[in-house]
Structure 1
Amino acid sequence: MNSIVNLPHDDRSCGWYAALPEPLPCRRLIGEQKADYVVIGAGFAGLAAARRLAEHLPQSRIVLVDAQRIGYGASGRNSGFVIDLPHKFALEHPDPQHKQRLLGLNRAAIDQLQTLIGRHGIDCQWSHAGKYQGAVGARGLAYLDHFEKLMSDLGEPYRLVEREELAGVLGTGYYSRAIFTPGCYLMQPAALVRGLGASLPKNVEVLEESPVRRLEKDTDGRWILHGDEGLIRTPRVLLGTSIFTQEFGYLRNRLLPVMTFASWTRPLTDNEMAATGIQADWGLTPADHAGTTVRMTQDRRLIIRNTYKHVPRYGRSIDEATRSRIREDHRKAFVARYPHLADVPFTHTWGGVYAISRNFTNYFGQLDEGVFATACDNGVGAAWGTISGTLLADMAVGTDSEQLSDIRAVTGMPSLNPPEPFLGLGVKTRIRWAAWNSRSEI
C-alpha cells in the first residue's frame, strides 16, 4: 500500500487563473467506481495521456482525476512558453542525435497543441511569436555567446538582436543583446489547460477536487485509488503527477521539488504603451539561467519571473512573508527595466512547483505492474508534458512508433539525491550561490 502524504497546496493568487471566467461546477470522486484506465493529474501530461487513451480505446472508460481544478496547478502557472528547442542543459549533450530527438518530440507537441486549439476553438492567446534570449551585462553576454555556439552546432535558425532593435520591441534599453529563435509559441497557460480539459473525448470522465490519498492493489491485482469520499478500481494507472509521483511511493529520493515565482501588472494603457514604445506579445528568457524571464502578454500585462526556492513540502514551504519578499524582488527587477512604469502596480504574485533531477534526466516508462509514469520535466513542461503524456498512453496500450523509440532513447532514471538534511542544505546553498553570481542579470 502506498499512502500519499503531501498534496498540492498552490497559492490563490495566480494571475493566469484569476483572469479566466469562473469555471463550471465540477464532478468529484464519490462512491465506488470502475475504469479501464485511470490517469492521475490533469496537467499537460495527464490531459494528453487521457486524450490519447480515449482515441485508442473509444469503447473504454477513461477516468482523469485531479486534486484541484484543471488549470489551477503547475501547468497553469508557467510563464506561457511552449519551447521547441532542447533545454539549456540538454543543448550541451554531446550526442547530436539526442538533441535532434528532443527537438523532434517538442515540435510534435507544438503541432499537436496547435491542432487541438484550432479544432476546438480554445481561446488561449496562442501565438507563434518566437522567443528572445537576453543578456544584460558581461556575465549574460558570455552565456549568450555560448548559446550562439550551441545553436550553430545544432544547425537551427537564430538571429542576433542588438540593444537598439531589442529596445524597440521590449520598450526598455536594459538589455545589451539577445538571440531570437523563431520556433517558440506563446500562450495563456491556464486558459490552454482548461480548454484542453473541456475538449476531451466523451469517454473520458473528469473528476476534479478529488485528491487520491492512497494507492493499493486488491487480491485480484487491480489497483484501488482511495479518495476522500470514494474509490476507483482499475487494472491500469497512468501518473501525470510530476513531482507528486514520489508521494505514491515511486521515484522517491530522485526528484527535487523547486518552486519559481512570477508577478504581473494590470494591462498597460494606450498611453503607457506609446510612451515606452513597447510592443505586445513577446517573451524573453535570460541567457544566464538564474536571471529574469520577462513576458508581455497579448492583453498587455508585463510579467516578471525569477527567484527559485527548494520546497520539500511544496506550497506549504512558502509563507506569506516569503511571498511578500519575493514580490519586492520582482518589483526591483521590474523598475530596473521599466523606471518609467514605476507607478504601474502588480496585481498578482504566484508560485508553481516543478520537478528537477540532479542529472537533468526525465523519467518515462513503467514503474510497476499496470503503473506507467512520466515525471520530471526539468522546467520545460508544456511541450514535454504534452508529448510524454501522449506517448505514455501509446506505451500503456502497446502501440509502438518512432516517437516512442525516441522518447525512450532520451529519458532514463533520475539520480538518487543525498539524504536529508544534506539535500536541503545543498540545494538551498546552490540556489543562493546562483542568485548571487547572477545578480547582474536579475
Structure 2
Amino acid sequence: MTRSIIPQDDKCNGWYQLLSDPAPPNRLNTHTDADWLVIGAGFTGLAAARRVAELRPGERVVLLEALRIGQGASGRNTGFVIDLPHKRDLEGDDLARKQKLLALNRGAVDDLETLVQRHGIDCGWSRAGKYQGAVGERGLKYLDHYERLLKEFDYPYRRLECEDLSPILGTRHYAAAIYTANTALMQPAALVRGLGETLPDNVDLYEHTPVVNLTRLDGQWCATTPEGEVRATNLLLGSNIYSREFGFLRHRMLPVMTFASMTRTLTDEEMGPFSAAPHHFGLTPADHAGTTVRLTPDRRLIIRNQYRFVPRYHDDLSERTRIRQGHRESFEARYPELAQVPFEATWGGACGLSRNYTAFFGRVGDNAWMSGVHQSVGAARGTISGKLLAELATGQDSRQLADMLAVSGKPALNPPEPFLSLGVKTRMRQAAWASRSEL
C-alpha cells in the first residue's frame, strides 16, 4: 500500500534539542534483502529488532526509521516508565489481569534498566518513583479513588498532604499526592538514541528512510523507500499509528497528540523552594485530564497538558501559541515566584488510542506481526511488547508472552467521518472543561 503521510520533524522537541548532534544518518540508498524487516525505531521497533537479532543471530535484520531516532513519538513523552497498570486497566475488576499488566510493565522497566547500565546510556535514568497529585476537590476525589484501587491491588504507596509535599514539589499548589516507588524517570530522546546505538551487529539501522510503499510480493514483504528497497521474509511493525497507512488496523486507531513545555535550567536561587527534592521528580495528575509536572536532573521544569485529535498525525502549528499560553498559566499557578523563567521549547507527541481502551499485539498478515495502540504508555508497553513480538514471531514460549497475549485485544472500530472527529473533539473539550481546576 502506498503511504500518503510521511512522518515529519517539526524541530520543536525540547528533549531532542538538548542532545549533541548525531553522526550523519545511514540512509538506505540501494536494493537489499533481509530475513527480518522492522519498521519504526521507537520503543517498540527497537525492542523488536534487538530481540529478534538475539534469537536469530545468523539472520539479517533491517530496521527502518523515517526520522532520526529520538525525533519521533518515543523521544517526545514526558520521560516516565511506569510499572502500574494504566488508568482504566487499574480500575478494572479483573485482579489477575492487573497482575499480568504489572508483571509486564515491571519487565519493561527491568529490561530498559539493564540496557542502560550495560551500555552506559546517558539518559538520566533513575528509579525515582512518581507522585499522583491532586489540586482541588475534583482531584482529591480522583486521588481517593486511586488510593482505594491501590489498596485493593495490595500495591505499596505513601500518601502525602500539602505540608510534606510542598518542599518536594516546590509549591503549595497541590493539596495531596500519592507516591509509588517503582516508576523510572529518564530523558526519552537520549534513551531511544542510546538504544539505537547499541543494537546487535546483525541489525542494520537506516534513518531518514521512510517507507513510502509496502506490498506483499512473491512471498516476501517489499518496502520501497525514497532511494531504495528492502525485501524481507518477515515483517515486524513498530510504527504504531502510522501502521494504518500500510493498511493495518485501519479505522481502529485514534491519533491523539499531547503537549509539553520546558523551561531553561533553574538557577541555584530559583531552586530554593525545592528544599526536599531529591534533585528531580515526576508528578502525574490524579484527574487524567490534568497536568503532568517534571523537574529534570538538569533542573528544568516541564509542564504537560492539553490534547488534540490529529487525524494526519501532526498539529496545527499556529495553535502552538495558545497551547504554550495554557502551559504558562499552569506553570505560574504552581510557581508564581518563577514567573520570569521562560520556556525554551513547546512540543507535541502523537500517541495511539482506541475507543475501547484496548492495545493490539499479534499477527496481522502472512509473516507479519504488529504491536501498537498503546494508550499513551508506550515507554513500558512498547518496550515489552516489542520484545515479545519478536518472541511470538520466532515461535518462542514464555510466561511473559502468554501474559501479553492475555491482556491484548482488538481495538474497536471507529465511526466514519465526520462523526469521528466531531465526537472526539467534543469529548476532549468536555474533559478539558470538567478538569479545568486541575490544569
Which residue of structure 2 aligns with residue 193 of structure 1?
192
Q: 1:49-88 residue pairs with structure 2 within 5 A?
A: 49-88=48-87
Q: Is residue 238 of structure 2 the alignment partner of residue 254 of structure 1?
A: no
Which residue of structure 2 aligns with residue 9 of structure 1?
8
Unpaired segments ≥5 residues, structure 2: none
User: 2: distance between equivalents of 1:365 and 1:4?
Assistant: 22
User: 2: distance between equivalents of 1:49 and 1:255?
Assistant: 21
Match of 1:232 among 210, 230, 233: 230
Which residue of structure 1 aligns with residue 26 of structure 2?
27
Output one character per residue of 1:334-374: Cα deviation in whole Å (capped at 9) or x when no partner.
00000000000000000000000011100000000011000
User: 2: distance between equivalents of 1:146 and 1:388?
Assistant: 29
The structural deviation recorded for 1:310 is 0.1
1:400 is paired with a residue whose SS is coil
User: 1: distance between equivalents of 2:31 and 2:237?
Assistant: 20
User: 2: distance between equivalents of 1:10 and 1:21?
Assistant: 17
User: 1: distance between equivalents of 2:107 and 2:273?
Assistant: 40
Q: Is residue 319 of structure 2 the alignment partner of residue 322 of structure 1?
A: yes
2:71 is paired with a residue whose SS is coil
**What TM-score comes out, normalization by structure 2 length?**
0.99
Which residue of structure 1 aligns with residue 211 of structure 2?
212
Q: 1:133-212 residue pairs with structure 2 within 5 A?
A: 133-212=132-211
Output one character per residue of 1:219-273: Cα deviation in whole Å (capped at 9) or x when no partner.
x211100111110001111000111111110100100000000001001001111
User: 1: distance between equivalents of 2:54 and 2:236?
Assistant: 15
User: 1: distance between equivalents of 2:423 and 2:31?
Assistant: 44
User: 1: distance between equivalents of 2:44 and 2:142?
Assistant: 31
Q: Is residue 328 of structure 2 the alignment partner of residue 331 of structure 1?
A: yes
Q: Is residue 345 of structure 2 the alignment partner of residue 344 of structure 1?
A: no
Q: 1:392-403 residue pairs with structure 2 within 5 A?
A: 392-403=389-400
Q: 2:173–2:334: 8 Å Cα contact kept in structure 1?
A: yes
Which stretch of structure 1 is more off in the superposition, 6-15 or 274-283? 274-283
User: 1: distance between equivalents of 2:19 and 2:109?
Assistant: 23
Q: 1:35–1:63: 8 Å Cα contact kept in structure 2?
A: yes
Q: 1:349-388 residue pairs with structure 2 within 5 A?
A: 349-388=346-385
Which residue of structure 2 aligns with residue 102 of structure 1?
101
Q: 2:167–2:273: 8 Å Cα contact kept in structure 1?
A: no
Q: 1:76–1:191: 8 Å Cα contact kept in structure 2?
A: yes
Output one character per residue of 1:284-306: Cα deviation in whole Å (capped at 9) or x when no partner.
00000000000000000000000
Amino acid of the structure 2 residue aligned with 1:222: Q
Q: 1:11–1:351: 8 Å Cα contact kept in structure 2?
A: no
Which residue of structure 2 aligns with residue 41 of structure 1?
40
1:305 is paired with a residue whose SS is strand
Match of 1:413 among 407, 410, 413: 410
User: 2: distance between equivalents of 1:356 and 1:311?
Assistant: 11
The structural deviation recorded for 1:389 is 0.0
Unpaired segments ≥5 residues, structure 1: none
The structural deviation recorded for 1:158 is 0.6
1:178 is paired with a residue whose SS is strand
The structural deviation recorded for 1:7 is 1.9
1:161 is paired with a residue whose SS is strand
Q: 2:8–2:67: 8 Å Cα contact kept in structure 1?
A: no
The structural deviation recorded for 1:112 is 0.5
State the identity as a percent.
58
User: 1: distance between equivalents of 2:160 and 2:426?
Assistant: 34
User: 1: distance between equivalents of 2:125 and 2:247?
Assistant: 37
User: 2: distance between equivalents of 1:235 and 1:106?
Assistant: 30
The structural deviation recorded for 1:92 is 1.3
2:270 is paired with a residue whose SS is helix
Which residue of structure 2 aligns with residue 404 of structure 1?
401
**What TM-score comes out, normalization by structure 1 length?**
0.98
User: 1: distance between equivalents of 2:401 and 2:129?
Assistant: 27
Q: 1:10–1:351: 8 Å Cα contact kept in structure 2?
A: no
2:59 is paired with a residue whose SS is coil
1:331 is paired with a residue whose SS is helix
The structural deviation recorded for 1:437 is 0.2
Aligned residues: 438
The structural deviation recorded for 1:277 is 3.6
Amino acid of the structure 2 residue aligned with 1:263: S
User: 1: distance between equivalents of 2:216 and 2:142?
Assistant: 50
The structural deviation recorded for 1:94 is 1.6
User: 1: distance between equivalents of 2:395 and 2:4?
Assistant: 32
Q: 2:36–2:233: 8 Å Cα contact kept in structure 1?
A: yes
Q: 2:262–2:300: 8 Å Cα contact kept in structure 1?
A: yes
Amino acid of the structure 1 residue aligned with 2:360: Y
User: 2: distance between equivalents of 1:380 and 1:112?
Assistant: 16
The structural deviation recorded for 1:10 is 3.6
Q: Is residue 290 of structure 2 the alignment partner of residue 291 of structure 1?
A: yes
User: 1: distance between equivalents of 2:81 and 2:271?
Assistant: 25
User: 1: distance between equivalents of 2:146 and 2:80?
Assistant: 18
2:305 is paired with a residue whose SS is strand
Amino acid of the structure 2 residue aligned with 1:438: S
Which stretch of structure 1 is more off in the superposition, 397-406 or 275-284? 275-284
Output one character per residue of 1:162-185: Cα deviation in whole Å (capped at 9) or x when no partner.
001110101100000001011101
The structural deviation recorded for 1:93 is 1.6
The structural deviation recorded for 1:275 is 5.0
Q: 2:171–2:273: 8 Å Cα contact kept in structure 1?
A: no
Which residue of structure 2 aligns with residue 128 of structure 1?
127
1:183 is paired with a residue whose SS is coil
User: 2: distance between equivalents of 1:354 and 1:127?
Assistant: 24
Supply the RMSD in Å over aligned alpha carbons: 0.8
The structural deviation recorded for 1:5 is 1.1
Amino acid of the structure 2 residue aligned with 1:355: G
Q: 1:41–1:241: 8 Å Cα contact kept in structure 2?
A: yes
2:363 is paired with a residue whose SS is strand
Q: 1:422-441 residue pairs with structure 2 within 5 A?
A: 422-441=419-438
